[in-house]
Amino acid sequence: MLKWIFCAGILLSFLSVSAREGTEWMMAYWYNGNDNKLPRILLIGDSICNGYQTGVRDELAGTAYVSFYATSKCVTDCSYLKELSYILEEYDYAVIHFNNGLHSLKTDPVKWEAGLRAALRLIQEKNKHAKIIWTSSTPLKDAQLTVRVRELNAIAEKVMKENNIPVDDLFTLMNPLDRNKWWKDAYHYVPEGKLMQAKQVAAAIRSAMGKNHAPETAVRNTLQAAVSETGPDGKIK
């Protein structure tokens, strides 16, 4: 642990405080917060992750409980590792599906790679037995701006290959699609696009767990147990 603190201190001094967006945000859900009969998986990402997380929850119902942490912060932000550390300490996760990138398009690539490596080390330190899956950042509606996404994805792919971590390639899934049909704005997707992503993410997680779809009864029971009368979304239908 002391080694990690020392390394993190060096990293933060190297990265310095980067400029933040006009509004920074983070959100986290732990569905089935009191349940422990099934494995728990963690989704890490940004608003794209927030877009597909409910679909993943539904796809994995009866197979695993889903948690997610979505944030606008780049991995170089001085608070990112602190937030991530808290999320990682809340539960033992069987699979961690990880992304950071779309809020990093203006970040120096060298600093972004250093931040990515630090986040990966933290995940490995806090959840030693979790299976980690990296997911590529999704393309933008503007094909020219998508070039920058490709550059960061290439850096991430190199880092993951060094660490023997598989890649869930959402970029390749979405990039061939009609941008006037599947994108609702510069970054985000229509509901059908979110569902497409959710199905691929869930399939990658099931493959890592060696699991198939759960029986319908188990699906219903898991979703019913996740109902929260006072939660921000009310009841889960």
Residue 8 lies in a domain: no
Residue 232 lies in a domain: no
Mean pLDDT score of the chain:
90
Residue 91 lies in a domain: yes
- Which residue segment(s) compose the domain that 104 sits in? 23-219
- Cα–Cα distance measured from residue 146 to residue 158, given in angstroms and rounded to the nearest whole number: 19
Residue 235 lies in a domain: no
Contacts of 160 (CB under 8 A, 6+ apart): 134, 166, 167
Q: For position 229, what pLDDT does the model report? A: 72
Q: For position 10, what pLDDT does the model report? A: 40
Residue 9 lies in a domain: no
Residue 15 lies in a domain: no
Residue 225 lies in a domain: no
Report the SS3 class of residue 182. Answer: helix
CA atoms within 13 A on the CB side of 141: 13
What average pLDDT score do residues 110-132 get? Answer: 97
For residue 137, pLDDT over 70 is answered with yes
Confidence of residue 237 (pLDDT cuts 50, 70, 90): low
Cβ(31)–Cβ(66) below 8 Å:
yes
Domain count, the chain: 1
Confidence of residue 231 (pLDDT cuts 50, 70, 90): low
Q: For position 7, what pLDDT does the model report? A: 43
Report the SS3 class of residue 135. Answer: strand
For residue 120, pLDDT over 90 is answered with yes
Q: For position 15, what pLDDT does the model report? A: 46
Helix (H) or strand (E) holding 150: helix 146-162
Confidence of residue 232 (pLDDT cuts 50, 70, 90): low
The CATH number given to whatever domain includes residue 202 is 3.40.50.1110
pLDDT digits (tens, 9 = 90+) for 172-200: 999 999 999 999 999 999 999 999 999 99
What average pLDDT score do residues 74-79 get? Answer: 93
Residue 113 burial (CB count, 10 A): 18
Residue 134 lies in a domain: yes
